[in-house]
């Protein structure tokens, strides 16, 4: 579809096809990478934050 849209010069056909290609390539890449590299990529995309102290249930004392 992407090549077809590019050959016709149709932007409404090419843009969604290109986005779909990028997302599917990312999924494929994440499925074939070793676990350490997956975790490194996940840390780049969503860095770990410090755990926060959850609110105690109502009526509980600290």
Residue pLDDT, tens place only, 4-44: 998 999 999 999 999 999 999 999 988 998 888 888 888 88
Note whether residue 2 is domain-resident. Answer: yes
Note whether residue 43 is domain-resident. Answer: no
| Cβ neighbours of 52 (radius 10 Å) | 6
Q: Is the pLDDT of residue 53 over 90?
A: no
Instruction: Provide the domain count of the chain.
Output: 1
Q: Is the pLDDT of residue 47 over 70?
A: yes
Look up the domain containing 19 and give its range. 1-29
Note whether residue 53 is domain-resident. Answer: no
Note whether residue 23 is domain-resident. Answer: yes
- In 2-34, which positions are buried (b, 16+ CB within 10 angstroms) versus exposed (e)? eeebeeeeeeeebeebeeeeeeeeeeeeeeeee
């Amino acid at each position: 579809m992407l090549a077809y849209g590019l050959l016709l010069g149709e932007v409404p056909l090419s843009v969604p096809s290109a986005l779909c290609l990028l997302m599917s390539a990312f999924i494929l890449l994440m499925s074939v990478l070793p676990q350490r590299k997956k975790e490194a990529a996940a840390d780049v995309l969503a860095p770990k934050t410090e755990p926060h102290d959850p609110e105690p249930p109502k009526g509980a004392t600290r």
